[in-house]
Amino acid sequence: MAYLLVIGTRKGLFTARNEDRREWEVSGPHRLDAADYASMGAVYAVGIDPHSGRVLAGAESSHFGPSVWYSDDLGLSWHEPASAPIAFPEDTDASLVRAWQFAFGDDPGTVYAGVEPHALFRSSDGGMSFELVRALWDHPHRADWYPGAGGGAIHTVLPGILGSGERSPDAMTVAMSTGGVYQTRDGGAGWAPANRGISAVFLPDEEPEYGQCVHKVAAGPNGVLYAQNHHGVYRSEDPAGQGWTAVEKGLPTDFGFAMVAHPRRPETALNFPVVSQEVHLPPDHRLGVYRTDDGGGSWRPFTRGLPQDPYFGIVLRDGACTDGADEPGFYFGTRTGDVYAATDGGEGWHQVAGHLPDVLCVRATEV
Amino acid sequence: MRVTVHLPGLLRADADGSAHVPLEVDDGTALDGVLDALTARYPGLDRRIRDERGRLRRYVNVFVDEDECRTVGGLAAPLHDGADVRVLPSVAGG
C-alpha cells in the first residue's frame, strides 16, 4: 500500500510519498502557477477527497490574493479553476482572506470549505466552485464572533457528525475562533451553538453560550468529539445536550492548537500541548505528544523517536492528522519545519522531513 | 479616449501573454472603468487586481502615469486621453 502526505507550509506546498510509511520521498515546493506568484505563498488548508483522490490546496499570493488549487494526480501537477472558486457574494460586503479547512461529505463531489472571515462554503463539483452557506453567515451571533490572533475563521468542519452514535447527512459540526462550536441538524438551514462546559478565559462570562475560541475539534469513529480550546481540553459525546467535559488532567498544560482522534478507537486521541496563550512554545522546551487511551481520563507522553534536545516549534491547529488506514498512521509537522509520522501501531515516531518552512497543515491518505 | 494598461510579467499569463493592452474607453472614464474594460477582455485578471468587493488588493499598486492611484482618488482617479496605467506588485512577496 502506498501513502501520500500533503504538507502545507508558510512558504509553499510539499508532498511526501512512500510504499510502507517508513521511507518517504519528499518533494516540493510544488509549482502551483506558471509565474510562481502563488507557489511561495502560505498554504493554510489542504484536503484529499476520499471519493476522487483529488487534492485541494488553499494557497495565496501576498500580491494577488487567495485561491484554491487542485491536483488530480496526487500532487504532481496543479491547476486553478478558471473563476474564483471561493468568493463572497456582493451583498455580503466581505472578501475572502483565505481558506482554513476542507472537508468532504458522503456524497461524491461534496466539499466544504471553512474560511476567513468566519464563513462556511459548500461545493457540489469537487471544489471547482463553492457557494456560501447563507444561514450560518446570516446567523444573529455573527456580529459577536471576532478574530483571534490567527484571524477570524471557521477552521473545523465535520460533516455528518453531531456526537456519539448520531450521524446524518444533514448534520454538521463546525468550530471557529472566536465563536465556538455550532451544529446543524437540517442540512445547514439552522445552526445552534453547542459550547456548554467550554471556558472562555478572555470573556467576563467564563462559560458563555457562544464566543469561545475553540482551536480544533476532532471526531472519533463513533462521533465522539475531542476539543482543544484556548485553554481547556474537552471531550463530548453530546455537545448540544450534556455538553463538554474537561479532560486536561494529566496533560502538562491545557493550551494547544491541534487534536487528533484515532479513527478506529473512540477512546484514543492525540494532543500537542503548548505552554500558554502567552508562550507559544512546547512545555519544558521539548517536542511532546500526549496520548489518551481512556477517553481523556488519563494521558501519557508519546515521544519515542522525537528529539530529546531543546525544541521550540509547536504544532498548529491543522498541523496533525491521521491517514485513517485500518492500522492508522499519525502525522504532525511543527513550526520549525519538521514532520514526523507514527505508523507502527502508534508507539514511536520517525522523521518524514526536516528543515521545511513552518508547517501549517498536513493531511494523509492511502493511495 | 485611448489608454494603455501595462501589465507586470507575473500577470501576463492571465492576459494571453500581453505586456501592454491598449483600450478605447469613453471620455471621462475613471480608473475603475478602465480596469472593468481590461478585465472584460481578460476575465482572469480581475481577481488578481481586485477582491470580490471590487477593492484594489492591498499589495497591488496601480499607477496612473507617474502617480500611484491611491494618491489621486483611488479607483475613481481620473484619466486622460493617452494615459498610461501600470499595474505593479507592491513591496511584498514570497
pLDDT of residue B94: 66
Q: HSE on the CB side for A159, CA within 13 Å?
A: 19
What is the percent of chain A where pLDDT is above 70? 99
Given an 8 Å threshold on Cβ–Cβ distance, is A63 in contact with B93?
yes
Given an 8 Å threshold on Cβ–Cβ distance, is B10 in contact with A64?
yes
CA distance B32 to chain A (A): 17
Residue B70 inside a domain? The answer is yes
For chain A, the residues whose C-beta falls within 8 A of a C-beta of chain B are: 11, 33-37, 39-41, 61-65, 67, 82-84, 87-88, 90, 93-96
Q: How confident is the model at residue A346 (pLDDT cuts 50, 70, 90)?
A: low
CATH T-level fold of A3-366: Methylamine Dehydrogenase; Chain H (2.130.10)
User: What is the DSSP code string of A312-350?
Assistant: -PPP-TBSEEE---SS--EEEE-TTS-EEEE-SSSS--E
Say whether pLDDT at A345 is over 70. Answer: no
Please list every residue in chain A whose beta carbon sits closer than 8 Å to the beta carbon of residue B59.
62-63
Among A144, A242, A257, A157, smallest CA distance to A198 is for A242
Q: Is the ipTM of this structure higher than 0.90?
A: yes
**Nearest Cβ partner of B47 from A11, A84, A90?**
A84
Please list every residue in chain A whose beta carbon sits closer than 8 Å to the beta carbon of residue B44.
82
Say whether pLDDT at A243 is over 70. Answer: yes
pLDDT of residue A35: 85
Given an 8 Å threshold on Cβ–Cβ distance, is B90 in contact with A63?
yes
pLDDT of residue A150: 87
| Spans of chain B below 70 pLDDT | 94
The residue written with cell numbers 517508513 in the block is A22
Nearest residue of chain A to residue B50 (CA atoms): A64
Q: How confident is the model at residue A209 (pLDDT cuts 50, 70, 90)?
A: very high
Q: Read off the CATH number of the domain in which B64 is found.
A: 3.10.20.30
Residue B94 inside a domain? The answer is no
Which cell goes with A272? Answer: 500537542
Say whether pLDDT at A149 is over 90. Answer: no
Mean pLDDT of A69-80: 96
What does the pLDDT look like over A105-121, one tens digit per residue?
A: 999 999 999 999 999 99
CB A99 within 8 A of CB A113: yes
pLDDT of residue B92: 74
Q: What is the pLDDT of chain A when averaged over all its residues?
A: 95
Q: Which residue has the higher pLDDT, A149 or A271?
A: A271
Greatest CA separation for chain A:
53
Number of independent structural domains in chain B: 1
Q: Which of A30, A31, A63 to probe by mutation at the B interface, max B CB count within 10 Å?
A: A63
What SS3 class is residue A223?
Answer: coil
pLDDT of residue A38: 86
**Nearest Cβ partner of A63 from B43, B51, B57?**
B57
Which residue range is the domain that position B80 belongs to?
2-89
Q: How is chain A split into domains, by residue range?
A: 3-366
What does the pLDDT look like over A20-67, one tens digit per residue?
A: 877 899 999 999 988 888 888 999 999 999 999 999 999 999 999 999
Given an 8 Å threshold on Cβ–Cβ distance, is A62 in contact with B92?
yes
